[in-house]
Structure 1
């Protein structure tokens, strides 16, 4: 029986954001939100390598997999490439070396996207069973030392980054998520505008996480 791990995304209501701007938001990028959280006891400086999938999964609440060979739907490469390349560049700039998932990386970063209007954000671990190395029965997510992000509402277009430690499973085979980032309000506007905002907001997620630097 698959266990659902719900990740409630924390942020601000739209009226709160708009109230910070004298006459309300004039441009869509003024409503973008970047939220990060991490395990404060985790020693990021002791880690040196990371792996990154070449795709971004698209969360679908309606189609649960029954086939063990099932793969999720993926985000259009036009946007996925910007998400992955910006994440990769930030990790390298922080002093980490990218390796293949088969090379026993210290960290694995998983990117997903949600294109809907919900008051909660969650998805099951099996979205990653097609890629995550060494996946086995009973494995799942856990968040040591901190709570997953929680918010009142997610507008259409959110990106979720999970930094996991594949070599530090719990006794119950849960994979620790040591850092997470939520970026809200992305997939609106032209392709160039969206990609520019993806780059800006992912950079912001890493900028506001100085503890990741080696």
Structure 2
């Protein structure tokens, strides 16, 4: 038996042993966390220096009817919202950006939201943001130039969405380009510290796998 064949057999046996030791499913909820990111490949992130972000994280609810007069969205519990917001801000600062108020003509506006349900249509209504986004008006919306966001019709409980928009390039049809998107998908299970830690780790991962954001 030649050396090469011996090596192949050894590798095969090791693979079988590893499978025998592997459980049927994940042992811990953090093993189910998924981080997705996408961006406009033609957008020059290095030319941007400032960003604005709301002090609340919108809670997407399939029973909401955005756009109705007087509509006000629900917001994520501050315990989790603070973890989301502070992690985004920290990563943006580390990448060389400066946070400013939305009224100060920021180069980028970041829109964080979250959902706790089994059902999700990714293109949730932009009317959720009419309380925050500067210059909002009838017909306002957003689009994804140069790429397509994930097509999600069903998603597991506990998802955080981050959309980075470019307010300076509003089109004649009142569409705002979304230049970077992140979807963090996992289970909101465990104690507060555990969930907050996983939120931080997964959002950190979203920025880590998006090095083009750095200035």
| Structure 1 and Structure 2 fold alike (TM over 0.5) | yes
How many angstroms does 1:181 deviate by? 0.1
CA contact (8 A) 1:50 1:109 kept: yes
**2:99 aligned partner:** 98
CA contact (8 A) 1:39 1:146 kept: yes
Deviations 1:89-117 (A, max 9, x none): 00000000000000000000000001100
**1:44 aligned partner:** 45
**1:22 aligned partner:** 22
**Is 1:126 aligned to residue 127 of structure 2?**
yes
Give the aligned CA root-mean-square deviation in angstroms: 1.6
Q: SS at the partner of 1:194?
A: helix
How many angstroms does 1:67 deviate by? 4.4
Q: SS at the partner of 1:88?
A: helix
Indicate the larger mover: 66-75 or 43-52: 66-75
**Distance across 1 between alignment mates of 2:170 and 2:178:** 10
CA contact (8 A) 2:111 2:164 kept: yes
**1:13 aligned partner:** none
Moved over 6 A (4+): none
**Distance across 2 between alignment mates of 1:30 and 1:36:** 18
TM-score of the pair, normalised by structure 2: 0.87
**1:210 aligned partner:** 211
Deviations 1:35-93 (A, max 9, x none): 00000000000000000100000001112145433210000001000000000000000
**1:6 aligned partner:** none
Larger RCO (alpha carbons 8 Å, 6+ apart): 1
Q: 1:186 to 1:203 in 2, by over 3 A?
A: farther
Q: SS at the partner of 1:22?
A: coil
Higher helix share: 2
**1:70 aligned partner:** 71
Unaligned runs of 5+ in 1: 1-18
Indicate the larger mover: 199-208 or 58-67: 58-67
Unaligned runs of 5+ in 2: 1-18
CA contact (8 A) 1:70 1:130 kept: no
Q: Aligned ranges for residues 1-214 of structure 1 at < 5 Å?
A: 22-23=22-23, 24-65=25-66, 67-118=68-119, 120-151=121-152, 153-214=154-215
Figure out how many residues of one structure are paired with residues of the other and give that number: 195
**Distance across 2 between alignment mates of 1:68 and 1:102:** 24
How many angstroms does 1:153 deviate by? 3.5
Larger Rg: 2
Q: SS at the partner of 1:167?
A: helix
How many angstroms does 1:152 deviate by? 6.5
